[in-house]
Chains A and B, each alone.
Chain A
Amino acid sequence: MRDRHAIIAALIVFFVVLTFPIWYARAAGTTSRGPEPKLPETEKTCVMPVEYMRASHMKLLLTWRDDVVRRNVRTWIAPDGKSYKASLSGTCLRCHANKAEFCDRCHTYAGVTPYCWECHVDPASIKGSGT
């Protein structure tokens, strides 16, 4: 046991390295929790139940896209009978006005980069630039 000190020191270093992600996350202030998108305060319900929107909003948007562009149908009737203007900038972003705190938070968290915004315009981003 002449190497006791060296072994203990090495073990300590080993455990520090092993638990490094935990210390690092603490220090950086990040957590392992979800993306926490900020929901709009003005509206309580979306066009579809929250479970559906969470999992399948992209499918709904593709339906809206095909309705408007290819079928010239601009109004979408929800299963509950309410009708909405099928528009990303006009309907979605009217409530979810803060794209950065809603869309982007989840998309960044999930590591997806939808290219909607290469063409579709976030009205808030225009107001900032003025002119």
Chain B
Amino acid sequence: MSFSRRAFLGAAGLSALGLTGKAAIDAFALQPPHEPASTPAGTRWAMVIDPKKCLEAGDCTACLDACHRTHNVPAIDNRAHEVKWIWKESFEHAFPSLQTDYPPDALRDKPVMVLCNHCDNPPCVRVCPTQATWKRSDGIVMMDWHRCIGCRYCVAACPYGSRSFNWSDPRPSIAQITPDFPTRSKGVVEKCTFCEERIARDEPPACVAACHAKALVFGNLNDPESDVRSLLRSHFTLRRKPELGTRPAIYYIV
């Protein structure tokens, strides 16, 4: 029986295809698109804000003062240079995509507390070239001020204006420095860190602890029995600019 050269080459080619075909198809298969990590198991810190309770307290700035005092946030009058971790925004500006020209009187033109949303899919993290900001497994969008080079990509990327840049040395603008927490230096971006240093001590964020009206509620989104989950069950809530797909962890009761 003769085994021609032609038949040998054909058999060898088919064998090679059989051995490597699957691996080649796998290698060239479409990579799964970049999906934001869905809410991870374990802890997922979140906050529920009730603007109406907040408004009942009048011109209260307890949360704002507590936050800025705790974290040595400078008070700069110049709006172009101001630094803010938590601040008041008018309802219409906080929720510009709300498709109504007639918001309820209770909220119309009224101030709403806004802060970093600690998004599930944070655009600021995506653009940071040095990983100075990143997403922790418990949902906090954390910052490493040691590593920030001040490029301000994150400032541009954040759709909520939650990030501030230090255009000058902030220390002269801090009324009283709290020594437990560092200040920042010129050329560094800063924002709310959800009081991760207080959470590490099992304390709620400073703004939540300072709120007498209990308008700010903090808790674990993954725990069905937590305060935030029970509020989300019993109230209709909004998140800021949901159409952007950032999936904020700050919910507003309306």
Chain A neighbourhood of B180, CB < 8 A: 89-90
Query: Are A115 and B185 closer than 8 Å at their CB atoms?
Result: yes
- CA distance in complex: A90, B145 (Å): 19
**B146 sits at the interface (CB 8 A):** yes
Q: Select which of A72, A115, A118, A131 is within 8 A of B175 by beta carbon.
A: A131
Do B179 and A121 touch (CB < 8 A)? yes
B92 within 8 A of A: no
A72 partner residues in chain B, CB cutoff 8 A:
136, 196, 200
Does residue B61 face the partner (Cβ distance < 8 Å to A)?
Answer: no
A74 at the interface (CB under 8 A from B): yes
User: Which of A72, A90, A120 has most chain B Cβ within 10 Å?
Assistant: A72
Assign chain B's interface to a size class: 20 to 34
- How many pairs, one residue from A and one from B, have CB atoms within 8 Å of each other in the complex? 38
Distance A65 CA – B132 CA, assembled complex (angstroms): 13
B177 to A126, Cβ gap below 8 A?
yes
Contact of A121 with B183 in the complex, beta carbons under 8 Å: yes
Which residue of the partner chain, among B136, B145, B182, contacts A121 with CB atoms under 8 Å?
Answer: B182
Q: Which residues of B contact A126 (CB under 8 A)?
A: 176-177, 179
Nearest CB in chain B: distance from A124 CB, A? 9
Give B37 Cβ to nearest chain A Cβ, in Å. 17
Q: How far is the CB of A111 from chain B (nearest CB, A)?
A: 21
- Which residues of chain B are near A118, meaning CB under 8 Å? 169, 183, 185
Residues of B within 8 A of A131 (CB): 175-176
In the bound assembly, the distance between CA atoms of A119 and B71 in angstroms comes to 11
Among B72, B145, B183, which residue has the most Cβ atoms of chain A within 10 A?
Answer: B183
In whole angstroms, how far apart are the Cα atoms of A90 and B179 in the complex? 9
Whole-angstrom distance between the alpha carbons of A70 and B184 in the complex?
Answer: 17
Distance between Cα atoms of A70 and B196 in the complex (Å): 11
Kindly provide the distance from the CB of B156 to the nearest chain A CB, expressed in whole angstroms. 24
B176/A69 in contact, CB under 8 A: no
Q: Whole-angstrom distance between the alpha carbons of A115 and B176 in the complex?
A: 21
Minimum-distance CB pairs A-B, first 3: A119-B182, A123-B179, A118-B185
- A residues apposed to B, CB below 8 Å: 65, 69-70, 72, 74, 89-90, 115, 118-123, 126, 131
What residues make up the interface of B, taking CB atoms closer than 8 Å to A?
72, 136, 142, 144-146, 169, 175-185, 196, 200
Other contacts beyond A72-B200, A121-B182, A123-B179: 12, CB < 8 A: A69-B142, A72-B196, A74-B200, A89-B179, A89-B182, A118-B169, A119-B145, A121-B72, A121-B179, A122-B179, A126-B179, A131-B175
